[in-house]
Amino acid sequence: MSAGPPGGAQLGDVLDRIPVGVLIHRETGIVYANQEGAQLLVGPGRSPLGRNLLEFVEPAERAALETAFLDCLHGGVPVRTMDVTLLGPGAGPDGHPIRTQVSMAPLPWDGPAVAYVVVTDVTTLKENEDRLQVLAITDPLTGLFNRRHFMELAESELNRSRRYGGQVSLLSVDIDHFKHINDAFGHAIGDRALKAFADGCRSMLRTNDIFGRIGGEEFAILLPETGADAARAAAERLRETIAGLRVPAGRRTIHFTISAGVSSCRDGDRTLDALLSSADKALYRAKHGGRNRVVVAADTPAP
């Protein structure tokens, strides 16, 4: 892909066989690229010589990479690893960005200063890491946050409320007679009902609301910047939406209802455990009051 790296054709042949991109880059552009480097930047059968690596980088990442490159080139400061997203013709078979790790170091060279740049495609590795991260924080059936991650996010929101002020509300939600659904129709239909419930609620919530599966048929929703009246209204909308769902069950369809307890706090003046306990007590009252209803906790602060 160039007149060749230092060391001649034999070294060039070796570099073309390794599965990482190797570039020799001066300030004005690329003067050498092995086969993998060319493939990553411009695709097969094309040459990136004379072009700047920055052309192929996600715009938001260019400034940091340029600073690191110039420090390496003129200051002799090597770069061990940087996460860099590549775009352009070589960015995946369907035009998807390539997630890479880039390292660089100064290289002795006749003429203007150069650095060698190693570009490793870590797209598959990063995608696997992303999938593992999702699995670690979500409930696999519903796709909602699991209990641990819900608690982390809710605690963070309460801390924000303590710092900046404002109201926060929490809904404790339970599917009515869920055991009967499982017993009468089987766990596969029960799972279908859980997913329908989660999807129905998600469609009604704001992007900053925090929705988690706390137990089997028990769910919690934290509503930032929301007082008790607005939280009750939101819970009623959820209740009405879920009551209108129909879930296929063989030749039949089933429907179900939910009960919800509402608790609130102002300026983060309650712990998350206290907020959950209060909402759970209100939920208990809703279920023992006939189900398919919303109850606001007795200790909820006045508007």
**Domain shared by 121 and 228, yes or no:** no
Listed residues 97, 127, 157: the one ending a domain: 127
| Sole residue written with tokens 């369907």 | 94
Q: Are residues 78 and 161 in the same domain?
A: no
Same domain, 146 and 291: yes
pLDDT at residue 217 is higher than 80 = yes
Task: Indicate whether 165 belongs to any domain.
Answer: yes
Q: Give residue for tokens 């997630």.
A: 99
Q: Annotate 221-251 with b (16+ C-beta within 10 A) or e (fewer).
A: bbbbbbbbebbbebbeebbeebeebebebee
Asked if 104 and 65 count as a contact pair (C-beta separation under 8 A), the reply is no
Is the domain of 248 the same as that of 185? yes
Q: Judge whether 287 lies within some domain.
A: yes
What pLDDT was estimated at residue 10? 61
* The domain boundary residue, chosen from 127, 159, 178: 127
Q: Cβ distance 298 to 289 under 8 Å?
A: no
CATH number for the domain harbouring residue 258: 3.30.70.270
| Domain shared by 113 and 57, yes or no | yes
Amino acid 7: pLDDT: 59
Instruction: Let me know whether 123 and 35 are in one domain.
Output: yes
Q: Are residues 67 and 120 in the same domain?
A: yes
Q: How far apart are CA 16 and CA 164, in angstroms?
A: 57
Looking at the fold, whether 144 and 282 belong to one and the same domain comes out as yes
pLDDT tens for 103-145 read 999 998 888 899 999 999 999 999 999 999 999 999 999 999 9
Distance from the Cα of residue 296 to its chain's centroid: 32
For residues 286 and 155, membership in a common domain is answered with yes
**What pTM was computed for the model?**
0.74
Three-state DSSP class for residue 245: coil
Confidence band for 92, pLDDT divided at 50, 70 and 90:
low
Q: Which of 42-51, 254-263, 294-303 has the lowest mean pLDDT?
A: 294-303
Mean pLDDT, to the nearest integer, of 64-73?
A: 96
Q: Could you list the residue range(s) of the whole structural domain that residue 72 is in? A: 8-127
* CATH number where 118 lies: 3.30.450.20
Tell me what the mean pLDDT of segment 60-86 comes to. 95
pLDDT of residue 273: 95
| Interacting residues of 159 by C-beta distance below 8 A, sequence separation 6+ | 268
The β-bridge relationship of strands 167-175 and 258-266 is antiparallel
Average pLDDT over residues 192-220: 95
The better pLDDT of the pair 169, 11 is held by 169
List phi, psi (to 5°) of 104. Answer: -155, 160
To the nearest whole percent, how much of the chain has pLDDT over 70? 93
| CA 44 vs CA 39, 121, 246: distances in Å | 5, 15, 52
At which residue do the structure tokens 């960005």 appear?
Answer: 97
302 in a structural domain: no
* Confidence at 85, pLDDT banded by 50, 70, 90: very high
- Domain end, chosen from 92, 127, 162, is at 127
Structural domains of the chain, count: 2
Q: Establish if 1 belongs to a structural domain.
A: no
Are 88 and 167 in the same domain? no
List residues bridging with 266 in a β-sheet.
167
Shared domain for 115 and 192, answered yes or no, is no
Predicted confidence (pLDDT) per residue in 240-255, tens digit: 999 999 999 988 999 9
Domain annotation covers residue 236 = yes
> Quick one: 115 and 143 in the same domain?
no
Look at residue 232 and tell me whether its pLDDT is greater than 60: yes
Coil, strand or helix: which one is 89? Answer: coil
Residue 29 lies in a domain: yes
pLDDT tens across 158-192, in order?
999 999 999 999 999 999 999 999 999 999 999 99
On the question of pLDDT at 198 being above 70, the answer is yes
